[in-house]
Structure 1
Amino acid sequence: MTVTLKRRLAAATALAGAAVLLIAGPASAHVTVQPSSVAKDATDQTFAFRVPDEDDTASTVRVEVDFPLDHPIPSALVAPVPGWTDQIQTTKLATPIHTDDGDITDVVSQIVWTGGQIAPNHYQDFTVDFGALPDNTDQVVFKALQTYSNGNIVRWIDEQKPGQPEPDHPAPVLYLTSAPASSAPSAPSTAAKSSSDATARGLGIAGIVVGVLGAVAGAVLGRRGRGADGSGTSA
């Protein structure tokens, strides 16, 4: 293969890779929760709503995140974002949440950020600390509205259906996983013990055999040496 052909192939490969990135980039640029999954009993309950700006000419000027009421989150603390003003809305539940510390009747229903800007082809994380996570579901689905400076509003509210392609404007989802199993080492099985014992016995026997062979070889060499220098006795 000539040098020129190699260079052409390398250039074609680079262009193909760039094309894949250009195609895949916009498809994955939607509002998400970071991290997207956490154990149900996790003690760290700080998450970020990541909002990318997909408009080439307009900036994002308002972000609204609606919290679910079927699996409510009792409280939230919002980290300040330079240039942005946040506002938390709450609502009263028809059926209170019973906890060890008492009943909870008011829960977070919405958080709105205004006043700042997310420039085109940039993103902003809006960090929120949840007071508690629901324990009666495997996922928490939020709905987000993103308002641009040109007046356009993108509604990230479509829920993913099992077995269906991802919707064009998927809602942010936080997946709640089961607590990981204990990492304590388990007792070795009987088969493992038997295998270990057999290996140890085999190594011990091999050592004895090697020792015996070494002794025999030493004796033979010793006899040959005495025969060669005439010091040995004749038969």
Structure 2
Amino acid sequence: MKASRLAAVGAVAAATVVVLSSPALAHVSVQPEGTAAKGGYAVVDFKVPNERDDASTTKLEVTFPTDHPLASAMPEPISGWTVKVTKSKLDKPIELHGEKIDEAVSKITWTATGKGVEPGYFQKFPVSVGTLPEDTDELVFKALQTYSNNEVVRWIEVQRDGQEKPENPAPVLALSAASEEGHHGSSAEDSDDDAKAVKNTAADTSGSASADSSDTTARVLGVVGIVVGLVGVAYGVLAGRRRTDA
């Protein structure tokens, strides 16, 4: 019976290590560099993790929202990738800085010229966008992630109120309130400066991924240490009881 208890403790410990050491479910997402204020400009990063052990991510296609079109989208150049910006005619022209705009960005496509995003790493794709709409709290982008084995993962599912989180959610950019300093928030010049500021960050993504991996390893080793300690304590308690019974 005592041996069974010890075995049970060991089984729980092993299961804990497996759960905590398993990689968290990751997906293509979008986050602003700083804030994305309504009516202003922002630099946003499309973050693409590699979820496969035997293939690299070699292509990313991001479709821009048509219900809230963005007239300006300038991607940051990334070493090892080519980029193509596609624009489409608008059914209804929009006004930007006092001018009527009859086309907007409909899609941006990044294609790897080398190995792409290899297993165990992620890549950020920065884009300066604007002017952000003032009549919505979020923008939904749909993305296609292509691997070197020709597998395509479609991150296009929209979260619905009252429903479970979709398996392949579309990237969603949350918009903050308009800047108090001005109706349109950051200027186009500020956006360009922000785009330059993230250049070094984009270049260091491999190092960031390695740091994340090291941090995960440290957490797992810490858990293993705790589990081993618990097993030792359990063994000591059982051994003490055995001597007392004797």
Residues 116-148 of structure 1: CA deviation (Å, up to 9, x unaligned): 411012110000001311112111000000001
Unaligned residue ranges in structure 2 (runs of 5+): 1-7, 182-246
Match of 2:170 in 1: 171
Task: Give the TM-score, by structure 2 length.
Answer: 0.63
Q: In structure 2, do the counterparts of structure 1 residues 54 and 133 end up closer, same or farther at CA, with 3 Å as the change threshold?
A: same
Structure 2 residue 132 is the aligned partner of structure 1 residue 136: no
Structure 2 CA distance for aligned equivalents of residues 92 and 64 of structure 1: 19
Which position in structure 1 is the counterpart of 2:120?
121
Question: Quick one: percent identity of the two aligned structures?
Answer: 43
Residues in 2 aligned to 1:66 and 1:15: alpha-carbon distance in whole angstroms: 41
Alignment-derived partner of residue 43 in structure 2 = 46
User: Could you say which structure has the larger radius of gyration?
Assistant: 1
Which of 35, 59, 77 is the equivalent residue of 2:56?
Answer: 59
Alpha-carbon contact 1:36-1:173 (below 8 Å) kept: no
Contact 1:79 1:128 survives alignment (8 Å)? yes
Candidates 80, 85, 91, aligned match of 1:83: 80
Gaps of 5+ in 1: 1-7, 183-235
Offset at 1:12? 6.2
Question: 2:107 is matched with which residue?
Answer: 110
- The equivalent of 1:16 in structure 2 is 16
1:70 equivalenced with 2:67 (yes/no):
yes
* Matched position secondary structure for 2:92: strand
Give 1:14 deviation, angstroms: 8.3
| Cα deviation, residue 164, structure 1 | 1.1
Q: Is the Cα contact below 8 Å between 2:39 and 2:134 reproduced in 1?
A: no
* Aligned Cα root-mean-square deviation (Å): 3.0
Partners of 2:19 and 2:27 in 1: how far apart? 20
Query: TM-score if structure 1 supplies the norm length?
Result: 0.66
- In the alignment, the residues of structure 1 paired with residue 17 and residue 131 of structure 2 have an alpha-carbon distance, to the nearest angstrom, of 43
C-alpha deviations, 1:54-100, integer Å up to 9, x for none?
01101111100000111111111111111000000001101011244
Residues 14/73 of structure 1: CA separation in 2 closer, same or farther (3 Å cut): farther
The alignment covers a number of residue pairs equal to: 174
Cα displacement (A) at 1:11: 11
Give the distance between the partners of 2:178 and 2:84, measured in 1 at CA.
33
Q: Secondary structure at the match of 1:177?
A: coil
Provide the rounded CA distance (Å) in 1 between the counterparts of 2:122 and 2:70: 25
Q: Which residue pairs with 1:92 in the alignment?
A: 89
